[in-house]
Structure 1
């Protein structure tokens, strides 16, 4: 059964990577959410996509240069100011507390390809263990060194490599890195890649799938899942 993940929540219709967006994805019937994690100046895992706060908040500068208290003072409503007056940057802890209560899947993307956040893997794992959500979490990252590190630290939690370009035999490569699945850019998720990966026991979850024809193709191929900015659209098609 193909799982629908709300990409940064319901990012097509709500402020991305906020509790407003995650709650909407859940209400829309998504199987899970996808979010991005970075570290604040004081080392707290926070949920935001860009290395800078400029695009999605009313602040300017690098996430790593703000304390959690300072990040919480920013308004993350992004391009949805007409719909919402305010939205906070959530901590990963806040999201996992909510996910544990809702028992919804959470894909945690570690954003450590550009800025090498020291100790990020340990800090995130500590929270996952605290809220007992190992069975709900999937890790992903474009930083495959980080995936390998996570495999060493916690072999039992599912992991997947993120990638944009073609990889030769990605179903083999991901296992070599220490992961179980692959999360390719949708254009790299060819029918052959999906089929061969399935034959090798490797789940494929492409990103970011927003058009209905592609959604239908993935449902028919019984792809493991996909990430979409419009989970409500995907749920309606799936029915």
Structure 2
């Protein structure tokens, strides 16, 4: 059965990459979360997508220029009435010990080289005993190879925007157990052949009904979506009845 990962949490209804978005994704019945991490000036891992805080918070400037105590003062819920703080990765992993969710941690180090980010993320995953529930992904494929070398027991998956030739061969060459492609770049045949070669396929960001139907019909490994409730409703149509 295709797993449903809530992209930045239940982000179609709640402020992205906030604890509320994660709580609501779990309540809705998602199988997992997708979230993004960056490093603050004092080396704390925080959950936020953009390199700058401008779009999603009440502040301005680069994440890397904020001390953790200062970035926590920002409101990460610009549209809603309830104030939300930017979560630390520690906060999310502590909460994950109370549930059975999977989690895709995307390292946001494609534009900025966050020194030591891989080591910090892996140490936390190991400390919280979550090595079998986490997938590390990044557009920086050197970074995920580094993660594999640091901790081969944690699954890695390259993110990419364009269609790759025989993506399962590429994944195998960098010891990744999955690929996270843009959903529109893969034909049905490539999805099927990749999975036949024992490489998981988790396309992002799948929000359109027709695209969800297509991927559930193919029994794709997972979908990463902003709206887990819609995805769950559509997936029900493909669940085998006894």
Match of 2:9 in 1: 9
TM-score normalised per structure 2: 0.96
Matching of residue 71 in structure 1 with residue 62 in structure 2: no
Cα distance in 2 for partners of 1:100, 1:177 equals 30
Tell me the secondary structure at the aligned position of residue 157 of structure 2. Answer: strand
Match of 2:47 in 1: 47
TM-score normalised per structure 1: 0.97
Match of 1:111 in 2: 108
Offset of residue 56 of structure 1: 0.2
Q: Deviations over 1:153-188 (max 9, x none)?
A: 011111111000111111010111221110000111
Match of 2:240 in 1: none
Comparing 184-193 with 141-150, which one deviates more in the overlay?
184-193
Tell me the secondary structure at the aligned position of residue 110 of structure 2. Answer: coil
Matching of residue 86 in structure 1 with residue 83 in structure 2: yes
Q: Which consecutive unaligned segments of at least 5 residues does structure 1 have?
A: none
Q: Which consecutive unaligned segments of at least 5 residues does structure 2 have?
A: 237-242
CA contact (8 A) 1:36 1:108 kept: yes
Match of 1:62 in 2: 62
Match of 1:163 in 2: 160
Match of 2:175 in 1: 178
Matching of residue 211 in structure 1 with residue 203 in structure 2: no
Cα distance in 2 for partners of 1:220, 1:62 equals 42
Offset of residue 209 of structure 1: 0.3
Offset of residue 85 of structure 1: 2.2
Offset of residue 196 of structure 1: 1.0
Matching of residue 99 in structure 1 with residue 96 in structure 2: yes
Offset of residue 232 of structure 1: 0.7
Offset of residue 189 of structure 1: 2.2
Tell me the secondary structure at the aligned position of residue 146 of structure 1. Answer: helix
CA contact (8 A) 1:147 1:178 kept: no
Cα distance in 1 for partners of 2:168, 2:180 equals 11
* Aligned with residue 153 of structure 1, among 150, 153, 163: 150
Tell me the secondary structure at the aligned position of residue 158 of structure 2. Answer: strand
Cα distance in 1 for partners of 2:138, 2:40 equals 18
Match of 2:38 in 1: 38
4+ runs of 1 displaced by more than 3 Å?
none
Q: Deviations over 1:102-123 (max 9, x none)?
A: 1211100000000000000000
Match of 1:230 in 2: 227
Q: How many residue pairs were aligned?
A: 236
Cα distance in 2 for partners of 1:69, 1:108 equals 22
Cα distance in 2 for partners of 1:141, 1:234 equals 24
**RMSD of Structure 2 on Structure 1 (CA):** 0.8
Offset of residue 238 of structure 1: 1.2
